[in-house]
Amino acid sequence: MIGFWWLVSIAVLAVEIALLLYILLLYSKIHRTTGGRLLIGIQLFAILFVAQDALGAWTILSFYSRLGTSVSFPLAVLNTLGLAALLSLYYTLRT
């Protein structure tokens, strides 16, 4: 059975994916109206991080039984820090 911290990691990754998709849609609309190279960079950033988060969730679901519980808590902390960084980027770029 999958442990609590593995579920936390997957939940954080799901929130990150949702936020990244929102950022991607938001900046795609802005790019269509204004253009600009920075917005293309932000869109590429979002696409790459969606791929990373999806791969991370797949890795957790595939290997959690082999990795053990000693890996689950540090991974949950790292994923949470990644979400905090993404939220700070979102609020910085939004203003």
Q: What is the pLDDT of residues 14-49, one digit of tens each?
A: 999 999 898 888 888 888 888 777 778 878 888 998
The model's pTM is 0.80
Cα–Cα distance for residue pair 66/29, rounded to 1 Å: 43
Please tell me the distance from the alpha carbon of residue 92 to that of residue 25, in angstroms, as a whole number. Answer: 17
| 95: confidence class by pLDDT, cuts 50, 70, 90 | low
pLDDT for the residue numbered 70: 82
* Mean pLDDT of the chain, nearest integer: 86
Query: Does pLDDT of 76 surpass 80?
Result: yes
* Number of domains the chain contains: 1
- Residue 28: give the domain boundaries: 4-94
Residues near 86 by Cβ (< 8 Å), separated by ≥ 6? 16, 19, 20, 49
